Amino acid sequence: MNKKDVIIKVVIAVVLGTVGFYSGIYYGIMKTDVYMVNLMTEFEKISDEVDAFKMASDPKTIRLYVKELNRILDDTKVLHKIIDTGQMGDEALSKFFSDYDNKLNKVNERLVVLAMDTRGMISELSEDVTADLRSNKVELESTLKSEADSVKKEIGRLYDRVDDLYRELEKVSMLVDKAKETFFGKVIFKEEE
């Protein structure tokens, strides 16, 4: 073998080694770019779901429901006083019960939807988080659990208020029955028949 063949083989080996080295780097960069795009897509999806959860469990929304229930309870107490003085008929009372029963049903439906959305989001988030985002997942689930606990407490308070309202409505109903037995009640209810 002569010197020329050795040099040619060395040059070919160097060229092939260099091409292989740069091809490997290029391939690695392309795979990293694809991985980063997938990772960012998953992060954006999780971020959107967290934003949706925050909006659903917003304390302002829950406070609005509590305020509405308090207003209904206050109206019921006023009605109780009016009936005690004998100033209201059965027809107006029936309309009152119907109106507030509809409002209570709407509030209950909103609370159920809120609770289902909260559970659905927590479940969906726990399924979608990948192994590369596990540390973020632990922190996120902790925050979501805290928010969910807060929402559950508020829902419990709302149900307690609804129970109070139903008890007040039962008292009012008994008072109406008693009012029917009074002199004025017999006159009012006889005219309506």
pLDDT tens by residue, the chain, 193 residues: 688 888 888 899 999 888 888 888 888 888 888 888 998 998 899 888 877 777 666 777 767 767 887 888 788 777 777 666 655 556 666 777 777 777 777 877 887 777 777 777 766 656 665 545 566 666 667 776 777 777 788 778 877 887 888 888 888 888 877 877 777 667 766 655 5
- Give all strands (DSSP E) within the chain, no chain letters: none
**∠ CA(75), CA(81), CA(85), 5° rounding?**
140
Q: How many domains does the chain have?
A: 1
Look at residue 6 and tell me if it is in a domain: no
**Would residue 139 count as lying in a domain?**
yes
Give residue 40's identity as a one-letter amino acid code: M
Query: pTM (2 decimals)?
Result: 0.29
Positive/negative CA dihedral, 51, 53, 59, 63: positive
Report which of 128, 117, 140, 125 is spatially closest to residue 55, judged by C-alpha positions: 117
Owning domain of residue 139: 46-192
